[in-house]
């Protein structure tokens, strides 16, 4: 491998929330962190070099998003997904969660019904709840095959009367890659029911073969006319601290008023590092990304093997996308509080509790495998010891 994912990088003392900011959530910073979704790998050198080159010029003024930025987004979507995104569809966004919040605030009003499919990335249900929208839970099913499943009948029933669907594509925390037919069905039903779809595709570039990511808007006219898509290089290239994301909206009737709202209120400008990092990622990123995904896939095999051999009551949900692994701990027979206590107080590990992802998350813990394998070995040994002693 050209790139090194194995050698630990010291992150303590850098202000990294994952390492230095555990206390508010876990009561202590003295845990091994496997929680918040950034990776412990170095951000790729071609991104660091591009940022460094910019810093060599010592005036950090207001900056443009140049043609190279938009062209890199268009090329990336075309090469990776065979999807032709048009220049005028694209708008910069200062992060995917802020983008979801802005879309929610712009397209819905208080009391409107907003659907989410739990267990799901927590801002999906927190944003509507905090903004006084009516939350409609339409859970995915966890099958005996160790995969989350979409239930069309349930979806058709629950979507009635909704104004917006927040779709996590691919799905976090289950690591599920949506099948094209499922997305087509969702698009058709939402079009009929007048539901706007916000497709969060931040984990798309982390899809493992043989699965392929399907951009929601690429599934046909119903999706194209009725959706907003949110993308970012931040998960795949480990640069979430830069805060660079973008959306694309093919339908002018949705796009023009939304983009006007963003521009007139100066809500989506970003900083001068955003286009530089994004352009570098999408222009030079393929080889690094392939190698990183191969390393993470090996991490998943390591965790699965360790659990089979030493923690047979913990069953990992093997992800089809992303570096986050949901661990099914229900066979331990612990209440959620006791499960969290086992991981945090006894094993000294910081994982996200499945309960934070809504209904269906209880009994699960989310393990971040975007780290050197030695961290996972140490963490799992600590968990094994804690279980043996309890």
Q: What φ, ψ does residue 361 adopt, rounded to 5°?
A: -90, -15
Q: What φ, ψ does residue 373 adopt, rounded to 5°?
A: -60, -30
Helices H / strands E in the chain, number of each: 14, 15
Q: How far apart are CA 390 and CA 382, in angstroms?
A: 12
For ligand PLP, the closer CB: 97 or 303: 97
Least distance from ligand PLP to the Cβ atom of residue 37, Å: 3
Is the CA virtual torsion 208, 209, 210, 216 positive or negative?
positive
For ligand PLP, the closer CB: 199 or 279: 199
Q: How far apart are CA 84 and CA 87, in angstroms?
A: 10
Helices (H), 216-359: 221-225, 252-264, 273-284, 286-310, 336-341
Q: DSSP labels for 197-216?
A: EEEE-TTGGGBPTT-----G
Q: Which residues of this chain interact with ligand PLP, rule CB under 6 A?
A: 37, 95-97, 121, 168, 172, 200, 202, 232, 234, 240, 245
Least distance from ligand PLP to the Cβ atom of residue 385, Å: 29
Buried b / exposed e over 41-77, threshold 16 CB at 10 Å, is bebbeebeebbeeeeeeeeeeebebeeebbebbbebb
Buried b / exposed e over 149-183, threshold 16 CB at 10 Å, is ebeeeebeebbeebbbbbbbbbbbbbbbbbeeebb
Least distance from ligand PLP to the Cβ atom of residue 286, Å: 21
| CA 196 from centre of chain | 20
Least distance from ligand PLP to the Cβ atom of residue 333, Å: 29
Least distance from ligand PLP to the Cβ atom of residue 270, Å: 11
For ligand PLP, the closer CB: 163 or 235: 235
Least distance from ligand PLP to the Cβ atom of residue 172, Å: 4
Least distance from ligand PLP to the Cβ atom of residue 10, Å: 23
For ligand PLP, the closer CB: 176 or 342: 176
For ligand PLP, the closer CB: 76 or 306: 76
For ligand PLP, the closer CB: 214 or 307: 214
* Residue reference for tokens 């910019």: 54
For ligand PLP, the closer CB: 40 or 200: 200
């Amino acid at each position: 491998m050209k790139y090194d994912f194995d050698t630990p990088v010291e992150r303590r003392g850098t202000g990294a929330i994952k390492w230095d900011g555990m206390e508010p959530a876990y009561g202590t910073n003295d845990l091994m962190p496997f929680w918040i979704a950034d990776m412990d790998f170095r951000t790729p050198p071609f991104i660091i070099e591009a940022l460094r080159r910019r810093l060599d010029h010592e005036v950090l003024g207001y900056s443009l998003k140049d043609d190279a930025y938009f062209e890199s987004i268009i090329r990336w979507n075309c090469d990776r997904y065979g999807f032709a995104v048009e220049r005028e569809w694209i708008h910069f966004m200062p992060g995917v969660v802020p983008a979801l919040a802005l879309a929610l605030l712009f397209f819905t009003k208080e009391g409107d019904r907003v659907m989410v499919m739990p267990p799901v990335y927590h801002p999906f249900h927190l944003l509507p709840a905090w903004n006084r929208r009516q939350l409609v839970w339409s859970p995915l099913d966890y099958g005996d095959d160790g995969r989350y499943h979409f239930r069309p009948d349930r979806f058709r029933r629950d979507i009635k009367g909704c104004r917006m669907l927040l779709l996590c594509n691919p799905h976090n925390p289950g690591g599920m890659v949506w099948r094209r037919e499922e997305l087509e069905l969702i698009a058709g039903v939402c079009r009929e029911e007048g539901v706007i779809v916000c497709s969060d595709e931040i984990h798309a570039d982390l899809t493992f073969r043989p699965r392929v990511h399907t951009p929601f808007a690429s599934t046909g006219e119903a999706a194209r006319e009725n959706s907003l898509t949110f993308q970012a290089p931040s998960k795949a290239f480990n640069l979430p601290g830069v805060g660079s994301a973008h959306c694309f909206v093919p339908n002018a009737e949705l796009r023009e008023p939304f983009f006007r709202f963003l521009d007139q209120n100066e809500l989506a400008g970003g900083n001068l590092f955003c286009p530089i990092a994004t352009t570098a990622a999408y222009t030079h990123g393929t080889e690094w990304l392939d190698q990183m995904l191969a390393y993470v896939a090996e991490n998943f095999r390591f965790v699965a093997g360790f659990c089979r051999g030493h923690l047979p009551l913990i069953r990992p949900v093997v992800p089809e996308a992303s570096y986050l692994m949901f661990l099914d701990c229900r066979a331990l027979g612990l209440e959620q509080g006791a499960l969290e206590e086992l991981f945090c107080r006894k094993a000294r590990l910081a994982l996200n509790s499945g309960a934070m992802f809504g209904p269906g998350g209880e009994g699960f813990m989310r393990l971040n495998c975007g780290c050197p394998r030695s961290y996972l070995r140490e963490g799992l040994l600590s968990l094994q010891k804690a279980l043996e002693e309890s």
